[in-house]
Structure 1
Amino acid sequence: MNKKSQIYEFNPQVYPFRLWVCINPSLEDLQDKYYALTDNMERTDFTPDILNRDTFCIATCIPVSDKESGWAGILCSIFRKDKMSVGITAHEASHITDFISDSFGVGGFSFDDGEARAYIVQWAADCIWKVKSGKFKN
């Protein structure tokens, strides 16, 4: 029997949204726990195509809905922990920030009004890094 992937949940407090971060999740674990979300926020079953993991993929972010709680958010899956750099963490945090910004109308694409987005990027990067580095505390 395969050991289930440890999936960590984070709540930004400010937005009705969740971020889940995990290392090397199996497709079966994701199918058991989540629906994938389409561009129109419609629920669909997880498939290998949605996970889109290939041998070069270090990490990926996928919009999901938790089957038990109903929360919508982003699942950040880390597949090559040894290659997960600060830069890749920032890259994934940017995708998470884009999702939150699109979902809740957060602006801030210029230097003068970007503080709200910057805080979201910081929060998301901190969450990912806590899991990657093994420093997550419940």
Structure 2
Amino acid sequence: MDTGKGPADRFTGDVYIAAAAAAAAVAVAPAPSRVTANLVHFMPGARTHWHRHPLGQTVFVTEGVGLCRRRGGSVEVIRPGDRVLFEADEEHWHGAAPNRLMVHLAINEGDHDVVHWLEPVTDEEYTATPATD
């Protein structure tokens, strides 16, 4: 499986992900399923832009420490073994903590329009104080 750098119109910082083609995903379920899974590596401080998934997204952290945030919510710290479910069309972002690498498995469903990309996450949004447990 080839790994490429995530495009700047979707990510801030250095992000490495399998190519968007379903054949390059970590896992593709056979038809009629529309589920794919991609392993995404975020270097320290890297993150997605705000985005949403018409059918939702599940992120499973495999390594490092990350951050995520739902529109209108608080920044959450995510660690290996954490599973984050973003509901259908819920605007959100996710990425690495400022000083840590983060790797996650992103599980999506859809045969087209799996993600709708929005504006970049500002530094102020990214550095907001995380919610406490």
Query: How does the TM-score come out when normalised to structure 2?
Result: 0.33
Larger proportion of helix: 1
TM-score normalized by structure 1?
0.32
| Larger RCO (alpha carbons 8 Å, 6+ apart) | 2
Which structure has more strand as a fraction of its residues? 2
**Rg comparison, structure with higher value:** 1
